Amino acid sequence: MKDEKMVGLKERTREFALRIIRLYSALPKTTEAQVLGKQLLRSATSVGAHYREGSRSRSDAEFISKIEVGIQEMEESMYWMELLLHSGTLSSQQLSSLQDEANQLQAILVTCVKKVKNRSQS
């Protein structure tokens, strides 16, 4: 069962990254949009990489460390999406689905860390 969940999260974080890549490709070519987009591209595509690294960790502490960095990257991604929205570069309609997925993925990653921390304390 654990492996099925991990495969699902691997796929979701990869699909999230691919959606961000497509979004970046479609951004206006203004300096502002490109700067914000590159920041989003960097942080959002690293979430899945950190999750994959964590899934291959050798200890609970290493897992927690990798996943917590992924959570930080997701938080940063959410910030760049907010700036793209509030700057008028993108509409809420263009971002709402990605923002929703970012919130869901962040909640899942936080839950993963909490479960491992609770297991380690038992």
What CATH number is given to the structural domain containing 23?
1.20.1440.60
- CA distance to 29, 55, 56, 110, 112, per residue, from 66 (Å): 34, 9, 10, 12, 11
Contacts (Cβ under 8 Å, ≥6 apart) of 26: none
What global pTM score does this model have? 0.90
Q: Which domain covers residue 53, as residue numbers?
A: 2-121
- pLDDT tens digit sequence for 97-113: 999 999 999 999 999 99
- pLDDT tens digit sequence for 24-45: 999 999 999 999 999 999 999 9
Encoded tokens for 72? 């930080």
Q: Which of 56, 71, 60 is nearest to 121 (CA)?
A: 60
